[in-house]
Amino acid sequence: MNILEVKNLKIWDSQTGKGIITNSSFQLKQGSCLGIVGESGSGKSVTCRSIMRLNKPPLRQSGNILFKGEDLNTLSEKDMRRRRGKNLCMIMQSGMSAFDPSNVIGVHLHETLSEHFGWNKAQVAEKMGHAMRSVMLENPLEMMNKYPHQLSGGMLQRTMIALSIVLEPDIIIADEPTTALDAISQFEVVDQFVKLRKQMGSSIIFVSHDLGAVKKMADEVLVMKDGEIVDRGDIQSIFSESQHEFTKYIVSARMALSGNFNNLMRSV
Amino acid sequence: MGSYIIKRLISAIPLLFIISLITFGLINLSPMDPAKVVLEAQGVPKITEELIAQTKADLGMDKPFIIRYFDWVVACLHLDFGTSYVTGKPVWSLIGPAFLNTLKLTTVSSAAIIVLSILLGVACALTAGRLIDKSVRGLSFFLTAMPSYWLASLLIWYFSVHLDLLPTSGMASVEHYILPVTVITVSYVGIYFRFVRSSMLSNLNEDYVLYGRACGLSEWKVTMHILRNSLQVAVSIFCMAIPIILGSTVVIENVFAWPGLGSLSVRSILNRDFPIIQAYVLILAAAFVLFNTISDIINAAMNPKLRNGL
């Protein structure tokens, strides 16, 4: 069963009339993970934001975004806002800039959770504390009283994951969640995502140009180039038997890189 | 935060010291002999060398520079700025009330400027590119370009003479504040709301705004986060605006016959009344240091990253 069905999504710049996403259709199955790969500027992030209707003017969008059969594109702003966070949760590329730099991160957590569940501070601390420990963050209470610049990118990324655990959304949209991290934090964050999927059975859209992470996470993959979906398929077929030139190109580029790396490691 | 405030206050002391030294030194470099000024002001018909020497000794001018400087600083710390050469009255008795009058005008104007700049800046940022934004910016351009004495005269002509609603001059009642405050506010708001607007607009593109919205926060809450981060730029500008207005009310005070610092300082400069000029420069410089310090402290309170900077 499809939890999300995007049909004929078009996104364009209303000032210049330039098309950004020309005509995209894809589905996300209940409990599965859809990877979106492609170069920078291929329209991955814009596609993600369009599902949550968070693209800012002058960007406009048309088409149907069916979430559990309901078209998000026709909802009122107020109804859409209730879906954000509660049903559709986003995890951003850079934890460092995702939280208000002038507030301790607890403020954002409290505002979000009291918006959706009406919880007070003690309830937020209890639920978040539990979720943060589950993503290997020690001393959650102390962390919640720290400012973003006092924490590392990986810690903030895992805080966002912890928040999404508490929110229990139907769909998690992760927009390049590992790109801004060092290799060790990348590994930990991907690890948390894998666990998150197992525990909660959420459906995930996982955008990345890190093919390794996508391979580990995704069941199906969309390959995007210049605002179009040029190739799609399940993870095995994309990585081993794709017929499309661009897919072959990025997979082989990745193989060449990791091949070099492996050779280097062996020679050391 | 407490230790930051203490450190910041202590670091202002050397600055004040240097300012006082420069103020005192510059006045001493003036080619006019103060003793001559005093004698001329007293209307002495024939100024002889002996009289000058006598006056110098009376004023303590025969002592070395450093000793005179320290005498002056110690006296200033007791709010004793000496006596006016021209009127013979203590400087504080002249400058104190004038300072208070200007301070009243400045306080009311600054409050109006800050409130209006924030309101207009936010309104324009939230409607960027649309009618409200464009018309506010257009109108402000027009109003800021008007010289303040001309705007003041226009307002006096219309509201005081033509409609006979408001007083033309003086500071006897609340109504007396309306016109001068309006003129000062108009000439500053047109510049300052743009800082708030552009700062808001650049913050609108930050990731935390997107993430806040993606978490379902209300537009009001998101705007409050943006405002808090945007105001950090504005706080420094606003805090500097207060001493600038304090020191530049001369024109407005003259048009509205406001008995403030501006009129007093111009009179003293024309009369070469050095003790008053000295005190005026010192008070304004101290106001700049004070408000700069306050702005740093407010910014540190708003932006946690700055607290470790000292």
**ipTM score assigned to the predicted complex:** 0.89
Distance CA A93, CA A157 (A): 8
pLDDT tens per residue across span B158-187: 888 888 777 777 777 788 888 889 999 998
pLDDT tens per residue across span A78-127: 999 999 999 999 998 888 899 999 899 999 999 999 999 999 999 999 99
Asked whether the bond before B259 is cis by omega within 30 degrees of 0, the reply is no
Contacts of B304 in chain A (CB under 8 A): 101-102, 147, 149
Domain ranges of chain A: 2-263
Tell me the Ramachandran region of residue B167: left when phi exceeds 0, alpha when psi lies from -120 to 50, beta otherwise: beta
φ/ψ of A17, rounded to 5, equals: 80, 5
- Contact by Cβ (8 Å): A141, A54: no
Judge: B213–A99 Cβ closer than 8 Å, yes or no.
Answer: no
Contacts of A101 in chain B (CB under 8 A): 208, 229, 303-305
Judge: B304–A98 Cβ closer than 8 Å, yes or no.
Answer: no
Among A191-200, A257-266, B85-94, B276-285, the least confident range: A257-266
- Contact by Cβ (8 Å): A192, A200: no
Nearest to A90 among B211, B229, B302 (CB): B211
Nearest to B217 among A49, A93, A112 (CB): A112
Judge: A101–B216 Cβ closer than 8 Å, yes or no.
Answer: no
Judge: A115–B215 Cβ closer than 8 Å, yes or no.
Answer: yes
Distance CA B248, CA B184 (A): 10
Find where tokens 């081993």 sit: A240
- What tens-digit pLDDT sequence spans chain A (268 residues)? 889 999 999 999 988 888 899 889 999 999 899 999 888 888 888 999 999 999 888 889 999 999 988 999 999 989 999 999 999 999 988 888 999 998 999 999 999 999 999 999 999 999 999 999 988 888 999 999 999 999 998 899 889 989 988 998 999 999 888 877 777 878 888 888 888 888 888 899 999 877 888 888 889 999 888 888 888 888 888 877 777 777 877 777 777 766 666 777 676 5
Among B32-36, B82-86, B116-120, B237-241, the least confident range: B32-36
Determine the residue of chain A that is closest to B211 in CA distance: A98
Judge: A97–B206 Cβ closer than 8 Å, yes or no.
Answer: yes
Nearest to A101 among B214, B215, B229 (CB): B229
Judge: B215–A49 Cβ closer than 8 Å, yes or no.
Answer: no
Q: How far is CA A230 from CA A22, A49, B209, in A?
A: 12, 20, 32
Judge: A89–B225 Cβ closer than 8 Å, yes or no.
Answer: no
Nearest to A54 among B213, B225, B232 (CB): B213
CATH code of the region B92-260: 1.10.3720.10
For testing contact with chain B, the best of A102, A112, A164 (most B CBs within 10 A): A102
Distance CA A165, CA A200 (A): 8
Determine the residue of chain A that is closest to B301 in CA distance: A102
Beta strands in B234-276 (DSSP E): none
Q: What tokens were used for A149?
A: 């610049």
Nearest to A84 among B204, B216, B229 (CB): B216
- Contact by Cβ (8 Å): A24, A47: yes
Judge: B210–A54 Cβ closer than 8 Å, yes or no.
Answer: yes
Evaluate whether the domain defined by A2-263 bears CATH number 3.40.50.300: yes
Nearest to B207 among A82, A85, A92 (CB): A92
Q: What tokens were used for B67?
A: 């000793």
Report the gap between the CA of A104 and the closest CA in chain B (Å). Answer: 9
Report the gap between the CA of B218 and the closest CA in chain A (Å). Answer: 8
- Contact by Cβ (8 Å): B163, B155: no
Report the gap between the CA of A147 and the closest CA in chain B (Å). Answer: 7
Q: Which amino acid is at B153?
A: S
Element holding B270 (H helix, E strand)? helix B261-271
Q: How many residues does chain A have?
A: 268
Contacts 24+ apart (CB under 8 A), A247-252: A247/A223, A250/A37, A250/A211, A250/A223, A251/A211
Cα-only R_g, chain A: 19
